Amino acid sequence: MAEMDTSSGGGHKKGPGVKKSKKLSTRVDLTPMVDLGFLLITFFVFTTTMAKPTAMNMTEPNDDVDPSKQMKVKESAVMTILLGKADKLYYYYGSLTADNMSQKFKSTNYRDIRQLILDKKRQVPNGNKGKSDLMYIIKADKESTFKNAIDVLDEMTINAIPEGHYAEVDITDTERELIRLTEVANGVK
List the domain boundaries for the chain.
73-186
Q: Which of 129, 127, 148 shows the shortest CA–CA distance to 139?
A: 148
At 52 the pLDDT is 79
Q: Does domain 73-186 have CATH number 3.30.420?
A: yes
What would the pLDDT profile of 59-82 be if each residue is shown by its tens digit? Answer: 565 666 666 666 667 777 888 899
pTM of the model: 0.62
pLDDT band at 37 (very low <50, low <70, confident <90, very high): very high
β-pairing, 2-5 vs 25-28, is antiparallel
Higher pLDDT, 28 or 9: 28
| Distance from C-alpha of 180 to C-alpha of 182, rounded to nearest angstrom | 5
Which H or E run includes 79? strand 78-83
At 5 the pLDDT is 58
